[in-house]
Amino acid sequence: MSHSISRRAALVAGAALPMAAGFGLPRIARAQQAEGMEMELPTHRVFMLGDVKVTDLLAGSRVVPDPHSIFGLNVDDETFAQVSDEHFIPSDKARFFFNPVLIEAGGEVILVDTGTDPAGITAALEAAGKQPSDVTHVVLTHMHGDHIGGLMTEAGEKTFANAAHHAGRVEFDYWAGQENEGFESKVRPLEGELNFLVEGDQVGPLTTMEAFGHTPGHLVFTVAGGESDLLLMGDLANHYVWSVGQPDWHVSFDVDKEMAVETRRRVLSMAAENRMPVMGYHMPFPGLGYVSAEGEGFRWMPHTYQLML
Ligand SMILES: [Zn+2]
Ligand SMILES: [Zn+2]
């Protein structure tokens, strides 16, 4: 009896191992295994920007293998490993975060980006005391699957039934010509009601800035309310070391890699010079911090208590 119990325990323990050492498992299986947030990560965090309530929502998180196949395509393995080591992070795997942001001001409830699927964003909203039906505006930085995935339910209905939907004109036109499955199922159904944003357009306290390169019509937003505007940088830079720290490193997800580098430098310089608080969709949760110019790139300093005084 005790033998069979210990054997069973050993099997169970063995079943948990592939996360750490499962080199034989296909990539997709490992990604799914990590999808359930079994590490008990937090679901949301609230900050105040003057009178504006900002809630960072963790709509999903996963461990991804071989990050050098994504970041630093134009540097060798040794450089990638060295930079990772200097920052105390492994070079063979990374944890990805998906952080939509909820902005509440003047009675409006504005959701910026929607996660990979309706379940993730709905769970994060509910944990923060909100229902999808409370959202008055949905704003998209761009139309990659991990930003538009929460827009429509499995049944093909709008997740945010009472919201006005806003997205970039250039971005929409690009994906509309791509025969992209995600776009067709999540964005195309909203075509007739989308409000198209260009540089300078406002949604509540948000002001639109065009920051093209990651995708052809990628947008970032500044949020007015505090002593200094908050920058919602979307996917301008998708890792605090390998992209904020190394803005010249090419990223597989950037549609136009050179334009992405130029835009990253321009927008991060603006944030550094103006000492703006910055939120990044893929920064480690809660994805809020500051950037300063350092070396050939920028340094990401996670928020501690500056907006909680
Ligand atoms: Zn993206
Ligand atoms: Zn993304």
Give the ligand at the shortest distance from the Cα of 98: 2
Asked if residue 165 belongs to a domain, the reply is: yes
52-57 β-sheet, strand order:
44-49, 52-57, 101-105, 108-112, 137-139, 164-168, 195-197
Instruction: Report the distance separating Cα 293 and Cα 104, nearest Å.
Output: 31
Ligand 1 center from residue 143 Cα (angstroms): 7
Instruction: Report the distance separating Cα 123 and Cα 42, nearest Å.
Output: 12
What's the maximum distance between 2 C-alpha atoms anywhere in the chain? 71
Asked if residue 53 belongs to a domain, the reply is: yes
Percentage helix, strand, coil for the chain under 3-state DSSP, each rounded to 5: 35, 25, 40
Ligand 1 center from residue 235 Cα (angstroms): 5
Give the ligand at the shortest distance from the Cα of 116: 2
Assign residue 229 the CATH number of its domain: 3.60.15.10
Instruction: List, for residues 31-66, the tens digit of each pLDDT value.
Output: 334 455 456 788 899 999 999 999 999 999 999 999
Residue 308 has pLDDT above 50, yes or no: yes
Asked if residue 2 belongs to a domain, the reply is: no
Instruction: List, for residues 262-297, the tens digit of each pLDDT value.
Output: 999 999 999 999 999 999 999 999 999 999 999 999
pLDDT of residue 39: 64
Q: How many domains does the chain have?
A: 1
Across the chain, mean pLDDT equals: 89
Ligand 1 center from residue 77 Cα (angstroms): 24
Residue 7 has pLDDT above 70, yes or no: no
Asked if residue 19 belongs to a domain, the reply is: no
Write the single-letter amino acid at 289. G
Asked if residue 176 belongs to a domain, the reply is: yes
Asked if residue 241 belongs to a domain, the reply is: yes
Asked if residue 12 belongs to a domain, the reply is: no
CB atoms within 10 A of CB 41: 12
Ligand 2 center from residue 207 Cα (angstroms): 20
Ligand 1 center from residue 7 Cα (angstroms): 45
Give the ligand at the shortest distance from the Cα of 253: 1
Q: Are residues 127 and 120 in contact, defined by beta-carbon separation less than 8 angstroms?
A: no
Residue 166 banded pLDDT, cuts 50, 70, 90: very high
Ligand 1 center from residue 148 Cα (angstroms): 10
Asked if residue 1 belongs to a domain, the reply is: no
Q: C-alpha angle with apex 197: 119 to 276, nearest 5 degrees?
A: 80
Place of tokens 């070396």: 295
pLDDT of residue 189: 97
pLDDT of residue 131: 98
For residue 97, the enclosing domain spans: 25-308
Give the ligand at the shortest distance from the Cα of 219: 1
Instruction: Report the distance separating Cα 223 and Cα 202, nearest Å.
Output: 10
